Amino acid sequence: QSALTQPASVSGSPGQSITISCTGTSNDVGSYNLVSWYQHHPGKAPKVMIYEANKRPSGISNRFSGSKSGNTASLTISGLQAEDEADYYCCSYASGASFVFGSGTKVTVL
Amino acid sequence: QVQLQESGPGLVKSSQTLTLTCAISGDYLNNYNTAWNWIRLSPSRGLEWLGRTSYKFRWSFDYALFVESRITFDPDASKNHLSLHLNFVTPDDTAVYYCARGSDTIDVWGQGTMVTVS
C-alpha cells in the first residue's frame, strides 16, 4: 500500500480557514467511508479529530470538519488558532483489512 | 478511560530482534469488538501501519505486506499485554512505535516508544 498523498505544509493566519487534502486510490479512500484524521503534537499521542470521513468525536471543536469525494478526503480547520499548530495525518481503512496513512501535513499558524 | 503504554529497549543493534510491549488499561485485549494495532512514525516515511490482532473465539493477525516476513504479534490476555517482535532489524526500522486501538477506525493511541537501530 502506498501512502496517501497530503501537502507537506499548510499555513494560515489566526481566524482563517485552511483545508488539507488527502488523496488515495479506489483500494482505500475511494472504497470506504472509513477515513480518519489525526492531530499530532510531537512527543504526544496522536489524537483523532475526524472519523468516518466527517464525524467528530465527542469533545472535538466544531471548527474541525471533514469531507470526502471519490478518492480524496479533506480536513478543514475554521477559525484557525495557535493551538491548532501541529502535524495532521489522514488514515484510511484499506483492502486486506489494513490501514494506510497519509504522508502528513505540517500546519503553521502565522 | 483507555490507556496504552508502550515499552521497549530504546536501542537495538542491526540484525537483532526488536521486542516491544503494549500494556492496556481500561479495555481488554480479547475484546470481541475491536482490534489492536502497531504503527510506527519516522521522519523519512511518516506513519506506517505494521499490523493488528483481534480476538473472536481465536486470535487473528493481519500484517502489512512490507514487513510481514519479519514481524509477529504475541497477545497475552492474562496480562492484558500485546507484544511485537520484529526480526532482522536495520537502521530503516528506527522510529517511534505506537500501540493503538481500532478495527475500522483507530481511536486510541499510546504515547509511543522511540527505537533506534544502530
Q: Please indicate whether, in this complex, the C-beta atoms of B109 and A46 are within 8 angstroms of each other.
A: yes
- The per-residue pLDDT for B72 is 98
Q: Please indicate whether, in this complex, the C-beta atoms of B46 and A93 are within 8 angstroms of each other.
A: no
Question: What is d(CA B110, CA B98) in angstroms, rounded to the nearest whole number?
Answer: 6
pLDDT at A95 over 90: no
Which residues from chain B sit within 8 angstroms of residue A57, using beta carbons? 107
Mean pLDDT of the residues in chain A: 95
Q: Is B33 in contact with B104 (CB distance < 8 Å)?
A: no
Percentage, residues of chain B above pLDDT 70: 100
Q: Where are the beta strands (DSSP E) in B8-117?
A: 11-12, 18-25, 36-42, 46-55, 59-63, 71-76, 81-86, 95-101, 108-109, 113-117
Q: Please indicate whether, in this complex, the C-beta atoms of B110 and A45 are within 8 angstroms of each other.
A: yes
Choose the mutation target among A98, A103, A106 for the interface with B, i.e. most B CBs under 10 Å.
A98
Residue of B nearest to A100 (CA): B49
- The per-residue pLDDT for A43 is 87
Average pLDDT rounded to a whole number, residues B44-50? 93
pLDDT at B13 over 80: yes
Residue of B nearest to A36 (CA): B105
Q: How far away is chain B from the Cα of A110, in angstroms, using its nearest Cα?
A: 23
- The per-residue pLDDT for B37 is 97
Least confident of A60-64, A97-101, B9-13, B14-18: A97-101
